[in-house]
Structures are given as C-alpha cells and as structure tokens.
Amino acid sequence: MKEKLLTALISPVIEDMGFVLWGIEYMPQKNNAILRVFIDHADGISVDNCADCSRELSGILEVEDPIKSAYVLEVSSPGIDRVLFNSQQFARYVGEHVQVKLAQPVNGARNIKGVIDSVDGDSIVVTNEVTDYEFDMGNVMKARLKPTVGGVKK
C-alpha cells in the first residue's frame, strides 16, 4: 500500500522537525496525484511550519521517488474538523461528534454521524439517536471530527 511506504519515508522527516505526522492522504488521479500530509504540534501549526515541512519533504520525495507520476504535495494542519486516520486518534476523541464513511455497512448504514462512544483496540463504537454502530478500523474509508461550538454542530 502506497500510504505505508509514504508514511515510512515522511514520518522521520516530520518528527525531526519537531512535529507529529497526523496522517497522509494519497489520491492518485489521471493527470496529477495529490499527496496531502497533515502535521500537528501542541502549539498549533502555522503557514510557515507547513512551508518548511513542504520544502523538506519535497527534497526527500525527489531523491526517493516513491510516486512515479506527477503529483501535488500539500502540507497542512489537521484543523478542528480533522480526519481520523487510526483507532488511537478515535480513542483520543471519545465523546466527540464524528462523521464516518464505511466500506461495508453496519446496521444497514455506511454513512454514520454520531458520538465516539468507545474504542477497544481497532473496534470502535459510534452512537447516535438511532443506534450504536460497532465497526473495525479496517472498515473505515474516511472519518472526520464534527466539532460542536456552544452545543451546535458545525
């Protein structure tokens, strides 16, 4: 899987710069692939941080050449409505609102909005007014936090 190779290449560079690699999205397309790298830091992420990481990553990606076709490199903060890439990230946000797209339906649904109820290993439970949805992290196509401000979902 291309994401694993890219993560192994990118992670040490990001960590050496003092940041956390939050996740990677690699989207091959007909003419230009997109490689999105999300970085995080306890003090937040600035535009300059993204630019510095982009320069460093461009160098290593040019030398190692893991993507043979043309691609666009984007480096950004995960943001308040961050994508969740693994079960540890789900566990960090238990009690928060989330929107999840599953590969295989659970309780008849592939698109779930609710609150992260619990995480046990790779098993995740999201609850809403309809039911509890228990699924494995391997079934998640995309998950994104849906933060609330003053009790109102954004």
Per-residue pLDDT, averaged over 86-111, amounts to: 96
Equal CATH topology for 2-76 and 87-153: no
The CATH architecture one would assign to domain 2-76 is 2-Layer Sandwich (3.30)
| Structure confidence at residue 1 (pLDDT) | 62
- Tens-place pLDDT, residues 65-82: 888 888 999 999 999 999
**Longest Cα–Cα distance in the chain:** 51
Q: How far apart are CA 11 and CA 24, in angstroms?
A: 10
Q: Report domain extents, the chain.
A: 2-76, 87-153
Ramachandran sector of residue 10 (left: φ over 0; alpha: ψ -120 to 50; beta: rest):
alpha
Report pTM: 0.86
| Top-tier CATH class for 87-153 | mainly beta
Indicate the DSSP class of residue 82. Answer: P
Q: How far apart are CA 15 and CA 101, in angstroms?
A: 29
- For residue 49, what are the CA distances in angstroms to 12, 25, 42, 58, 106? 16, 19, 13, 14, 39
